[in-house]
Amino acid sequence: MKHISTTPFRRRTNSAGQTGPAAVATHACSAASADKWALLRELGTARRAFGVSDRDLTVLQALLSFLPGQELREDLPMIVFPSNARLRERLHDMPESTLRRHIAALVSAGLMQRHDSPNGKRFARRTADGSLSIAFGFDLRPLLVRSTEIFAQATNARAALAECTTYREELVLRLRNFSCIADDPEHISFCDDLRRALRRKLTIDQMQAFMQRIQDLQALCDVSSTTKTGANDSQNERHIQHSNINQFESKKEAENEPERGVEISLETVLEAFPDCQAYETGKITTWAQFVALAYRLCPMMGISPAIWQQAQAMMGVRDAAISVAGVLQMFARIRSPGAYMRSLMEKARKDQYRPTPMIRASLARLQATGS
């Protein structure tokens, strides 16, 4: 008897999708032999390419354990015929309905083939010398036929995983850098959303979209990564020294900077923003003292050195210091001082901001409250 049926027994249907994979069993093997456990490991790596799950492969592993020897070889029988009860023993009493579902998935994927007997049972007949004459069960020959494809798909899967890991690492670093300078509520919300997204498995396209978004936000903020402090003490020390130099230059500029628009006296500013005087040991008598105080107030209010430097560049040293004092005076009513300063900087960039209205509004509030 040479013919072995590949059609299902009794009520099991044979879909068109299973007809194509079934033909694989008759193809020539791509290799003369293959280590069955190595092949299973590679198939686990490439399982998405074959449309099978890890649970499907657990059933395949149990089936391979019934095949004698370490290798799949074309010159050896590759049909196993365990009963469902024996299979369930090796699968820790997996429910039979679940077992049938995983077997059907493996057959549909073209990783093995059914050979049903006339009565649907799995068994083998042997010759007088004990060798197999014919066997009815699961044919694992498709694994050997597709071994080259399985190894190739596993290589592709590892390459895709390495690329995905590289993108993820770069995205995490970009998020870390951007979160250090994000003061706008919208930007902070974006960072929180990205952190939540990174808890899931993201595709490369999704990570590229996130990276492009971070680049756009960084360009909008116009903040260079060189303004960030380093991670060790020596780098922080260099940054502090650089900031002190900038502060010394700011004092000199404050003394010599010409006023833009209406002349504002220091006395008027201190009258409008009296809260800043509480942070100075003596009376403020010069613009240099006032600018130095504003510089010290920035970190107390959550205004980063980068924002302070940009504010000086966009507004001028005196106007930047006056704005910081104004933010301090309204501190209880401002949710995010850093974001508020950024909004003032954006207006200054468009030449739509002067501190005079802020001073007048503060004076009016103080007079109304009798302070």
Whether the pLDDT of residue 131 is over 60: the answer is yes
Q: Which residues does 159 contact at the CB level (< 8 Å), separation at least 6? A: none
Whether the pLDDT of residue 110 is over 60: the answer is yes
* CA-based nearest residue to 51, from 114, 12, 11, 104: 104
How far apart are the C-alpha atoms of 354 and 358, rounded to whole Å? 8
- Report residue 133: phi and psi, to 5°: -95, -45
What pLDDT score does 246 carry? 47
Instruction: List the end-to-end C-alpha distance of the chain, in Å, as a whole number.
Output: 109
Q: Please give the mean pLDDT across all residues of the chain.
A: 79
Contact 259, 347 (CB under 8 A): no
Indicate the SS3 state at residue 82. coil
How far apart are the C-alpha atoms of 321 and 6, rounded to whole Å? 85
Whether the pLDDT of residue 238 is over 50: the answer is no
Arithmetic mean of pLDDT, 13-35: 59
Banded model confidence at residue 27, pLDDT cuts 50, 70, 90: low
How far apart are the C-alpha atoms of 277 and 294, rounded to whole Å? 11
Whether the pLDDT of residue 249 is over 80: the answer is no
What pLDDT score does 97 carry? 92
Reported as a single tens digit per residue, the pLDDT across 199-215 is 888 888 888 888 888 88
Banded model confidence at residue 49, pLDDT cuts 50, 70, 90: very high
* Extents of the domains making up the chain: 16-145, 161-221, 233-369
Whether this model's pTM surpasses 0.75: no
Reported as a single tens digit per residue, the pLDDT across 82-109 is 888 999 999 999 999 999 999 999 999 9
- Owner of token pair 């009376």: 283
Arithmetic mean of pLDDT, 296-316: 88
Question: Residue 259 carries which DSSP code?
Answer: P
Whether the pLDDT of residue 6 is over 80: the answer is no
How far apart are the C-alpha atoms of 292 and 121, rounded to whole Å? 91
Banded model confidence at residue 243, pLDDT cuts 50, 70, 90: very low
Q: H helices within the chain, ranges in order?
A: 16-22, 36-45, 47-50, 54-65, 84-90, 96-108, 141-145, 147-179, 185-197, 204-221, 233-256, 266-272, 287-301, 305-315, 317-329, 337-349, 356-369
Q: Which residues does 131 contact at the CB level (< 8 Å), separation at least 6? A: none
Tell me the range of 35-49, 222-236, 253-267, 336-350 where mean pLDDT is highest. 35-49
What pLDDT score does 149 carry? 93
What pLDDT score does 221 carry? 66
Banded model confidence at residue 25, pLDDT cuts 50, 70, 90: low
Whether the pLDDT of residue 260 is over 70: the answer is no
% pLDDT > 70, the chain: 77
Whether the pLDDT of residue 226 is over 60: the answer is no
Burial of 320 (0-12, 13-18, 19+ CB in 10 A): buried
What pLDDT score does 116 carry? 77
- Report residue 327: phi and psi, to 5°: -65, -40
Q: What is the CATH number of domain 16-145?
A: 1.10.10
Whether the pLDDT of residue 244 is over 80: the answer is no
